Amino acid sequence: MSTAAPPGGHVWLILSHSNDVFYLEIPTRIIKTNCRRPVKYLRFLGWCIMGRSGAIKTDRAGVAMGDEDTLNDETIYYFVTNAADDAAALRYAVDPEVMKSRSSHSTSSTSMRTAQDRFKDSLIQRDVVCVFTNSSKLTCQGSHIIPFHKGDEWLDFVVQNRPTEGEDVSDLNSIHDIRNGLLLTGDLHHLMDHKHVAVIKTPNPVLQVDDIPPRHPLTLLHDGGQVQYPDGKRYTMQWFKEDRMEQRRFPNNADAAFRKDTQLPGPSPALLHYKYGVAAVYWWGKNASAYLGISNRPNLARPSPPIPAALGPERNLRSGHQLTPKYRRDPPAQGSGAPTGEGAQDQDMLDAEEIVLLLWSQNPAAIERRRRASEEQKRQEEERTSRLEQWRQGATTV
């Protein structure tokens, strides 16, 4: 590691296992605004992005910090896990080219509108009004946690590679599943789609309910007494980049409220935390592509991508939103004193959704699933080759 230090008002959280390539440059103020125990928040970010538990240290070989320890500005911290090494963890990672080829959702405009209307109707049954602002359902939209345009197969990638949270997602296979959505106002939907805000569910494997600052009170105006905060858990909206004007409208640490006594499933914590990690990488991540690049996995087997069916004009769900200059984001800058890496073109190679999914695919359960799948594929290929050879030998003798 060089003698460089984070800029004032920031800390670095090194996430790569054995080098300093991939890290987050996080505003200290945001950390303290989003969590009452900053060290635990760094642990949560590491778990949320890397897909495995770890400790926070000021030196890789040092002693783990305690949850109540003080976080110092302009300091480098390490998220340290029990992974054997980077190469082993990346060996069975999902191929980004395969992910990209399977993540486009093409459909006709009519069928898309029908699906969107049904999705919103199902969310109204659970959420009644905007879950964070209590605005009328008439001004709300059905917001997908995993974006609609990513499609069912991308959702399946996320579900199959998720960190364990004790959540049964075995039947979560549709992009329009109610667990993949929230009822939001149009503006808040826009902010969430563009990763300015994300939702953290507590308790989770790292953070407890009281680790998050007290909720901003929700003024109940339009629900007619039909909604309430869920008991014993919180779904909290948090900002990743301060915007005082917008935060007057959509306050940080606002909690979601849902229909009283609803039996419908809530938003999936696995999907929420995937999206939270995506937003963190999007705003704060540096050099992820250098760490995850194909050059690090020269022996990666690449299955043939499926041939997409011609189903009509392709439409991005977010294409109707025009970003104003204040919400347009430039590529992350590479400071002169930053750890070694590939520079400012990092995000052009892999987007934040791909980065977090690739990192999740390193968690032990996902690695083991992929190892078994690889071995099974090899076994089937050997059986086919053997049968073909037997057929050839039989044909020759005849």
Q: CA separation (Å) from 363 to 24, 366, 370?
A: 19, 5, 11
Averaged confidence pLDDT in the chain: 80
pLDDT digits (tens, 9 = 90+) for 237-276: 999 988 889 999 999 999 999 999 899 999 999 999 999 9
Does the structure show a pLDDT above 60 at 373?
yes
DSSP category for residue 239: E
Q: Is the pTM of this model over 0.75?
A: yes
15-33: average pLDDT? 92
pLDDT at 101: 54
pLDDT at 91: 53
On whether the CB atoms of residues 146 and 175 are closer than 8 A, the answer is: yes
pLDDT at 39: 98
Does the structure show a pLDDT above 70 at 344?
no
pLDDT at 100: 56
Does the structure show a pLDDT above 80 at 97?
no
- What is the Cα–Cα distance from 241 to 131, expressed in whole angstroms? 21
On whether the CB atoms of residues 74 and 10 are closer than 8 A, the answer is: yes
pLDDT digits (tens, 9 = 90+) for 99-109: 555 555 555 56
Does the structure show a pLDDT above 60 at 296?
no
pLDDT at 266: 96
Alpha helix segments (H runs only) across 82-200:
86-90, 96-101, 109-127, 151-160, 186-193
pLDDT at 68: 96
pLDDT at 96: 52
pLDDT at 14: 95
Q: Which residues contact 133 (CB under 8 A, 6 or more apart)?
A: 185, 188, 218, 250, 254
pLDDT at 326: 38
pLDDT at 389: 81
pLDDT at 165: 76
Neighbours of 355 (CB within 10 A): 25
pLDDT digits (tens, 9 = 90+) for 134-169: 999 999 999 999 988 888 888 888 888 877 678 888
% of the chain with per-residue pLDDT over 70: 74
User: 335 vs 180, which has greater pLDDT?
Assistant: 180
Does the structure show a pLDDT above 50 at 319?
no
Does the structure show a pLDDT above 50 at 89?
yes
- pLDDT band at 339; cut points 50, 70, 90: very low
- pLDDT band at 298; cut points 50, 70, 90: low
pLDDT at 252: 95
